[in-house]
A = this chain, B = another copy of it.
Amino acid sequence: VNLFWAIDRMKQSFAAGVAAGESVDQLKDRLDREADQIHDEDVASCRAMGAFGAEVVPADAAILTHCNAGALATAGYGTALGVIRGAVEAGKQVAVFADETRPFLQGARLTAWELVRDGINTTVITDNMSGALMRQGKVNFVVVGADRIAANGDTANKIGTYSVAVLAREHRIPFYVAAPLSTIDLKTPDGSGIPIEERSSREVTHVGGAQLAPDGAGVWNPAFDVTPNHLIAGIITERGIFRAPYTESLARAFDMAGV
């Protein structure tokens, strides 16, 4: 939801400029400045998330992440990857396992690329390996991003996040969500109110030019799933880490931020 939040902010700035009788050039300048400010705030916000998150990352961390919540999905530092970067900057030993994240492979293609470029020890796994990895004691921390967080902490994120959260709980591994306050949607009471987009079957049946599944088979391709709040150890924001009961703690977060 924070994309819509940014669009709303641009629209409000535009409306304020129109109300003040600004010229077209003045309106363009105003929107440029607003966009730059959103960008700078986003980087600052991710760095703050990284600093808060680093505190709960183990000193010798083996971190699993899902999808891409990195520099490529934000203005330049990342939310979940911001926490990983924050832990590295704080001097912790960090190894990362990146779920490849079918069908679109954001983990293999984006997350691994970002982390390798940063010189962080990165291992790609297929999504179905996370359970076996946890059972072997090879993961001690999970952090993911979020597309939308309901008022009670239920979190929509890339398909597969929910499975990871259940598996983390089964193995008593803390599962954290990292996201800016702009991702929290207080108007949505819980996860049942979050619509889940279904995407083209071709994303599942084809990779590059290769057809993976036969004609005649159906495909189910939801873009997201919802992780219920009870599986989440904490929500890492630019204002600190919020914990259950989330309805209270997230409302407080907004009061603190003066939103």
A interface residues with partner B (beta carbon < 8 Å): 66, 97-103, 105, 108-109, 112-113, 115-116, 121-133, 135, 159-160, 162-164, 166-167, 170, 204-205, 207-210, 212-222, 225-226
Contacts and interface: CB of A to CB of B under 8 A. Distances in A.
A133 B163 CA distance: 10
Given A132-B222, A220-B129, A222-B129, A213 B124 contact: yes
25 contacts: A99-B128, A100-B213, A102-B128, A105-B212, A108-B204, A108-B205, A108-B212, A108-B217, A116-B217, A123-B217, A124-B218, A124-B219, A125-B219, A128-B159, A128-B160, A129-B159, A129-B160, A129-B220, A129-B225, A131-B160, A132-B163, A166-B166, A207-B207, A207-B208, A209-B209
Most buried by B among A109, A116, A123, A127: A127
Q: How many copies does the complex hold?
A: 2
B159 A112 contact: no
Given A108-B213, A208-B209, A225 B131 contact: yes
Contact of A214 (B112, B129, B167, B226): B112
A207 to B, nearest CB: 4
A213 B160 contact: no
Most buried by B among A102, A112, A132: A132
Among all A-B residue pairs, the 5 with the closest Cβ atoms:
A128-B160, A131-B163, A208-B210, A132-B225, A127-B128
B127 A102 contact: yes
User: By DSSP majority rule, is chain A's interface helix, strand, loop, or mixed?
Assistant: mixed
B210 A207 contact: yes
Contact of A167 (B109, B135, B163, B217): B163
A65 to B, nearest CB: 13
A164 B160 CA distance: 12
A212 B210 CA distance: 13
A123 B166 contact: no
A126 B126 CA distance: 10
A50 to B, nearest CB: 21
Nearest to A158: B128
Contact of A217 (B124, B133, B219): B124
A126 B204 contact: yes
Nearest to A116: B216
A123 B219 contact: yes
A64 to B, nearest CB: 11
